[in-house]
Amino acid sequence: MPLKVLISEDDIQSKIENLAKDINTYYTKLTEEITAVCVLKGSVNFFSDLVKKIKLNVNYNFIQVSSYAGDITTGKVKVKSWLDEPLENKHVLIVEDIVDTGNTLKYIIKYLERQNPLSLEITSIVMKNVHPHGINVKFPGFEIGDKFIVGYGLDYNEKYRNLPYIGYIE
């Protein structure tokens, strides 16, 4: 299946530098420590590259949820694993791969808010602009239209996650 490059590896790394600067500026005024929650599996590359550039103490945490089967969103959020430590009185940054319909992220936010964090912010490397999801992504990455994308953690039936760029199938 031939892929077209949508966002190059260099552009991704440059965007991450800028996001990290914004995150550092924002949180440095509030705290010396944040809890970064990686939404597995798709965010793992973004999470890994981003946290290395955050100049605070970063506690790592992971959740695994899914709402896709192939290239179709199922509309149902399937939880595979949740957090292993409480978030009460912590500054939490959700690290997401893509915000599309927002259903998965709304589910995650609702769950995390019940733990009473001091703050809960979101960063996502890709934002689709086709569904009005109403989620405030404080640190947005790239905005794209209605393309099914793969690479840099994003998959199609578990394939293409390891690509260093974000591409799409025509």
Catalytic residues: 100
Following CA atoms 118, 139, 25, 93 in sequence, which dihedral angle do they give, to the nearest 10 degrees? 30
Angle between helices 44-51 and 9-28 (to 10 degrees): 60
Cβ–Cβ < 8 Å for 143, 156:
no
**H-only helix segments in 44-87:** 44-51
Say how far apart CA 152 and CA 164 lie, in whole Å: 5
Break the chain down into helix, strand, coil percent, rounded to 5. Answer: 25, 40, 35
